[in-house]
Structure formats: structure tokens, C-alpha cells
Amino acid sequence: MAPSKGQKRPAAQADIDAEDGPRPRNQPSSKTPPSAKKNFVKKGTARPVKKNAKSNITTSSSRNTKPAAKPASRRESFARVSISDDGNHKGGVVSNEDDVEDNGDGPSYWLMKAEPDSRIEKGKDVKFSIDDLKEASEPEAWDGVRNAAARNNMRSMMQGDMAFFYHSNCKSPGIVGTMEIVREHSVDESAFDNEHPYYDEKSTRDKPKWCVVHVEFRRKFHDPVTLKELQRYAKPGGILENMQTLKMARLSVSRVSKKEWEFIHTLTDSDGQGAPPTTNGTNS
């Protein structure tokens, strides 16, 4: 379209070059030569794949290839968020994604709190001690968990995982023994019972919200490892410095690293013959 009256006609490329003065002999033209256009690759696009004529092997001109991502394990597939316990005697789990430990084919480790002393909720005693578990004739369902973080962590527990049994809300809180996860998560039937202390009307059989794991007694420590003793090793540089239950005291279920699990066993044994190590985690 012709320019309107008074409008300056766009200068041709040759005119623009002329205005800049004569071009030195070796200075390339600002025009892109036809041959260069053929090899031009737009920024952000992949370069074309070339074939090696001699070997007939397809190669790429780009070497920035990334290795295939490692498939996530079942344990890593569950969401892990930090949330405070709601006070249930077997409720509440917190797991930090940064604290998840890959034990290969070995078990994961946990600490699970329960109240050994009587406490009445809705007319029922919710106490549960290591002796109650020891006397059980069959695996015990760890019920009453009523927060999403706890539920997700219980779903991530696997058969063969181990847990410390911790007496809480009592005169001398601490680790009193061990138990094993013998049955993986299933529906928490107590949520459907309107007479149960932890009944949840929003959980239905068609859409159950909560789950349990079944645990079985393994050991009762002759000398419990008290909370005060655990705190001795939780100072900066101590072997229990990052132990989750010591960082977040209200958690009723928490993850325990393999290093923490093995160290705590050196503080006690079933016969009370364990020699306690020094505060830095080594025997003197």
C-alpha cells in the first residue's frame, strides 16, 4: 500500500547501509545470506537429528541428555506434611519429606506413643500400655488416628517395620519397649462406632477416611529410656539432635532413623545390662 501524503517512505536496506557510511571490505552485510538461513535453528527448539552415513546410527547434535528418573518407591509416594497431634492416645503422625530414610529392603522405624494411665473419654478408658500389648492374644489395631498426616504415614508403614513403644502423659514418659508392624493399613472400624471416643460421622463405609495398622509385642525394656535421657543426646552435635519426637514433642507417632534406632538400643536391653554411652553417642 502506498504511503499517505506527507508520510516518509520506509528506507530500503541499501539506504540504511548507506546512511551508516561505507562498509569496510571485510565487514559482513547485515543481510542474512540464503545459505545461513538453511542452518538457522530457532532458539529454544531442538536441533535436527542427524544420521551418520557410514554407521547408519542416528545421533543427536545435542549432548545434554538427562538420565531417566528413578522410579519412586512406595514409601516415597505418600504425601508427608507437618501437623500437630490432636491429642488422641494413638493419633497424629508427622513425617518430614527431608527426613525420609531409604533403608533399601530393610524396615523403616517409628516411635508410637500411648497413655499407660487411665483416662476416660466418652465413658471409656483409653489407656494402652506396653503390658496391654504384651498380654494381647492377637495383633493389636492401632486405632483412633484422626488427622490426615497420621493416616498417610500409617498407610506408608509396611509389614516388618519396627516401632518403639513410648509411654506418654504419665509420671515418667519414655521408651519402654518395641513392637512390629505385622499387618499393613486397613479401615479403622472405630470411626463408625458412635459410642467410641474417636467416632467420626464423616467417615462412612462407602468412603472410609481413617485406617489402622496392626502391631505385635516384641520386647519390654528392663530399664526404660526416659525422655530426660533422650534429651541428653539431643543437644547440638548429639546423635539424637534431629530426632523428630524431641523436636516436636506433641507428636504421638514419628519417624526414627536407623542410626537413632540402633543408638537407643545401646542405652538399654531387656536384661538391664546395657552400658550407656557418652553424650556424643560413643562409649567411654
**pLDDT for the residue numbered 47:** 56
Q: Examine the pLDDT at 166 and tell me if it is beyond 70.
A: yes
Question: 56-65, 181-190, 250-259 — which one is most confidently predicted on average?
Answer: 181-190
Paired sense of beta strands 120-121 and 124-125, if any: antiparallel
Rounded CA gap, 196 and 207, in Å? 19
Helices (H), the chain: 13-19, 34-39, 130-135, 148-156, 227-232, 244-247, 258-266
**pLDDT for the residue numbered 185:** 87
**pLDDT for the residue numbered 219:** 96
**pLDDT for the residue numbered 283:** 41
Paired sense of beta strands 93-94 and 253-256, if any: parallel
- Residue 149 phi, psi (nearest 5): -65, -40
Where b means 16+ CB within 10 Å and e means fewer, 54-73 reads eeeeeeeeeeeeeeeeeeee
Task: Please choose, from the candidates 84, 91, 97, 95, the residue with its C-alpha nearest in 3D space to the C-alpha of residue 112.
Answer: 91
Which DSSP string corresponds to 128-165? Answer: --HHHHHH-SSPEE-----SHHHHHHHHH--TT-EEEE
Cβ neighbour number for residue 119 with a 10 Å cutoff: 12
Question: 56-60, 150-154, 206-210 — which one is most confidently predicted on average?
Answer: 206-210
